[in-house]
Structure 1
């Protein structure tokens, strides 16, 4: 069983992030939001690969699935504005 908090820690350690939120209650399937300036100019698949790279061999082993939504800081600010936050 893996903890969402540990995924957050590993991602933050390997990628400069403005915001990270990982959730999952079964220990192997997770969803998350990651906001990083490193995503600027990269297609979504490359953004996700950058996050997965911070987790290394855990992906597909201890972490069976991680469904991601990724944003640049500007995209995140616009999204939050739409929500009225």
Structure 2
């Protein structure tokens, strides 16, 4: 079983982020929001790959699933209120 707080720590350690929120209560399935300037000009699939890279071999093993929403800082400024942040 894995903790959402540990996933958050690993993402923040491996990628410069302005905001990270990870949730999950069963220890293997998680959802998350990651905001990073590193996402500028990248397709969503590349943004997600950048986040998954911070988790390495944990993905598909200890972490069975991580459903992501990724945003650039500018896009986050537009949508965060609608998401409750």
Q: Deviations over 1:32-74 (max 9, x none)?
A: 0000000000000000000000000000000000000000000
SS state at 1:66 partner: strand
Look up the match of 1:49. Answer: 49
Please list every run of at least 4 consecutive aligned residues from structure 1 whose deviation after the TM superposition is greater than 4 angstroms. Answer: 81-85
Question: Aligned with 2:42: secondary structure?
Answer: coil
Unpaired segments of 5 or more residues in structure 2?
none
Q: CA deviation at 1:16?
A: 0.1
**TM, length-normalised to structure 1:** 0.95
Q: Name the counterpart of 2:58.
A: 58
- Give unpaired runs (5+ residues) of structure 1: none
- For residues 70 and 83 of structure 1, the distance between their equivalents in structure 2, rounded to whole angstroms, comes to 13
Alignment RMSD (CA, Å): 1.5
Paired with 1:12 and 1:32, the residues of 2 have a C-alpha distance of 12
Q: CA deviation at 1:81?
A: 4.8
Query: Distance in 1 between the 2:67 and 2:22 partners?
Result: 9
